[in-house]
Structure 1
Amino acid sequence: MAAVTFSTIIPVYKNEGSIPQLLQALTEMHRALDGKMEAVLVVDGSPDQSYALLRAALDGLEFPAQLLVHSRNFGSFPAIRTGLAAARGHYFGVMAADLQEPPELLIAFFKALRADECDVAIGTRTGRKDPLMSRMASNIFWGLYRRLVVREMPEGGVDVFGCNQAFRDQLLRLEESRSSLIALIFWLGFRRKLVSYERLEREHGKSAWTLRKKVEYMMDSVFAFTDYPIKLLIRAGAAGSALSLMLGAMVLIASISGHITVPGYAATMLVVLFFGTLNLLGLGLVGTYAWRGYENSKQRPLAVVCMQHANDQEAQ
């Protein structure tokens, strides 16, 4: 087998209709990359004929390929991690089996990585040939994601990326089951290059990226990367406490001046207003300590060294 320089990782789930076009696209990529590319196909518990089609075609492929099969559907991000761990190249790229991201994008990733222009290349959508409702939902989703999770996230979101071996190794060390692979890419840092493209129309099948999965992904990302909900509790508690003092003063004055004649009304309102908002503030403070403990439990490194140099002189 010829030396492998480039590894293309493809998660496969309900993609039987696009398998022939996918294999043809991979063949063309292999030729464009001087015959130094391998494909790592990860069938993520797909219930259709995707595995059978790939297994039947495997021995006749022009390019080196690995076919890995998950015992059930774990999700696209675990499938990507499986592929990255098994890949044998020096540069790695991730593409979708539905071919909505053009193969030329992966070639651009590999060229930038090989030229040492960056450690991680990220595909950013400048447009997408999807239905109007799908585009609107995507814009809302990624808009919230930028505001709540990763402020550096491109407006169109991120689905595919490429990286070198140093970045791949660091990414695989972050073993978090309920997290976001894309957010981890931005958290790691390194030298980054954004490569723009237009997302193509899906020709076969229906996307498995449902509203339920989007909500779960957003929740995983928020709880794994930001303490925004806790800060929101603290702010609401602090603002509510200040407001309760003002309202409490108004109730007390009204009670003293005789405008409130219901027995016990003033005392009840003062207690409810004060302790209700104080409870919010207390939850926020306790949540802050819980968040810090949770952050430590993830065991992410305190810093990541992406480059190291030294001269050859021995210390005198």
Structure 2
Amino acid sequence: MTVEKTYSIVVPVYGNAAGIPFLLERLEQLSSGMDSRVEVVFVVDGSPDDSYEILSRSLPGFSLHTQLIQHSRNFGSFAAIRTGMKHATGDFIAVMAADLQEPPELVLDFFRVLAANGADVAVGRREGRDDPALSRLSSTAFWRIYRRWVFPDMPEGGVDIFACNRAVAEEILALDESHSSLVGLLYWVGFRRIEIPYRRQPREHGKSGWSSAKKIRYLLDSVFSFTDLPLTLLIGVGAIGSLFTMLVGVAVLAVFLSGGITEPGYTPLMLVILFSTFTMLVALGIVGSYVWRAFENTKRRPSAIVMSHWVSDIHANV
């Protein structure tokens, strides 16, 4: 007997009151292209407007099975996504924004690939965006730094919409980390991944809460959660600086021995300053490397994740 596959769409909501009627309309149109049960999980993340009230009035007459969850305050979009994934009941889970800048129809492509077992994770690869020039410039710079130093495999425009199967969702939810990146965890767990291109649409309702301050915090959370780059840079700067100061120190000592420096105490003071400054950087980098390893262990991430396990049913003759 074939078991019917089910699908869940997680939608974090923050400051989207004006666009909710259009969002519900697009989701109903989206469901018409599905051949199985679809549920939508709305997570209102401490929204400052009346998004929750509008949804609570609209959802009783909504044609799809829905869940409406409200956070006690604003915890951030990634916390809202995690909450939605935790409560979703579908075999496949998609995550999309409520502002409709990522076309909801992309979710259909995600689900088709996942249901056909063509991949375990499907992400949208942004190939263009109809945003103001300054927004495009800042976004391009941000994601270029992110890909260069954190996750080189991530699409150039980042990941704003994705879907995964139940196995991947459970692995991500098992990594209950604070001050981390859910998208970073999505890439960290691995599995088979596919990218589907799309073009980002202009925002028609409301104002984006993805401020520069939040971008910087997100970048720092990702850097400190997934890479030891700062420690590597610290050790590198310290090592290069130590070599440079050693040469300068030898030059100062040579001038002193030749009688070129007559100021009392100048030579030993310079030697102490030169040698101690960058030596301390190297020492801090080494100590930090041990702290990093201890920090990694406190995350309780598994050393490896098994994606599949096959056991032969043929038994040896006794």
Against the structure 1 CA distance between its residues 4 and 65, is the aligned structure 2 distance closer, same or farther, given a 3 Å change threshold? farther
SS at match of 2:221: helix
What's 1:144 paired with? 145
2:85 counterpart of 1:63: no
- What is the identity, as a one-letter code, of the residue corresponding to 1:218? L
- After superposing the two structures, state which structure 1 stretch, 170-179 or 35-44, moved more: 35-44
Residues 45 and 74 of structure 1 are in contact (CA less than 8 Å); yes or no, is this contact kept in structure 2? yes
Per-residue CA distance 1:148-191 (angstroms, 9 max, x = gap): 11111111111111000111111110100110011111111100
Is the Cα contact below 8 Å between 1:143 and 1:155 reproduced in 2? yes
Paired with 1:70 and 1:97, the residues of 2 have a C-alpha distance of 16
**Structure-2 residue corresponding to 1:242:** 243
Moved more, 28-37 or 84-93: 28-37
In 2, the alpha carbon distance for the partners of 1:8 and 1:245 equals: 60
Secondary structure of 1:302's aligned partner: coil
CA distance in 1, matches of 2:8, 2:229: 37
Measured in 2, the distance between the counterparts of 1:289 and 1:266 equals: 35
Residue 48 of structure 1 aligns with which residue?
A: 49
Give the drift of 1:313: 2.2
SS at match of 2:261: coil
* Superposed counterparts of 1:9-88, under 5 Å: 9-34=10-35, 36-88=37-89
Q: Over aligned residue pairs, what C-alpha RMSD do you find?
A: 1.0
- Report the alpha carbon displacement of residue 274 of structure 1 after superposing the two structures with TM: 0.3
Deviations 1:110-136 (CA, angstroms, capped at 9, x unpaired)? 011001110000111100111000000
Confirm whether residue 217 of structure 1 aligns to residue 218 of structure 2: yes
Letter in 2 for 1:292: R
Alignment check: 8 A CA contact 2:6 2:36 kept: no
Corresponding residue number in structure 2 for 1:171:
172
SS of equivalent residue, structure 2 residue 163: strand
1:35 is displaced (CA, Å) by 5.1
- In 1, the alpha carbon distance for the partners of 2:187 and 2:306 equals 15
SS of residue matched to 1:239: helix
Match of 1:103 in 2: 104
Q: Kindly, what percent of the aligned residue pairs are identical?
A: 51
Q: Per-residue deviation at 1:4?
A: 6.7
Structure 1 contact 4–88 (Cα < 8 Å) conserved: no
Q: Deviation of residue 208 (structure 1)?
A: 0.3
- Aligned pairs for 1:197-208 within 5 A: 197-208=198-209
Runs of 4 or more above 3 Å deviation: none
Structure 1 position 315, deviation (Å): 4.8
Q: Say how many residue pairs are matched.
A: 314
- In the alignment, which residue of structure 2 is the partner of 1:124? 125
Q: Does the 8 A contact of 1:238 with 1:277 survive in 2? A: yes
> Which residue type is aligned with residue 121 of structure 2?
V
Determine helix, strand or coil for the equivalent of 1:163: strand
Q: Find the aligned partners of 2:315 and 2:213 in 1 and give their Cα distance.
A: 59
SS of 1:33's partner is coil
Partner of 2:275: helix, strand, or coil? helix
**1:214-247 CA-partner distances (Å, limit 9, x unpaired):** 1111111111011100011111111111111100
Counterpart residue number, 1:304? 305
Structure 1 residue runs without a partner (length 5+): none
Structure-1 residue corresponding to 2:136: 135
Q: Helix, strand or coil for the counterpart of 1:121?
A: strand
Aligned to 2:6: 5
Q: Secondary structure at the match of 1:72?
A: coil
- Give structure 2 stretches of 5+ with no counterpart: none
Mapped contact 1:43–1:51 kept (Cα < 8 A): yes
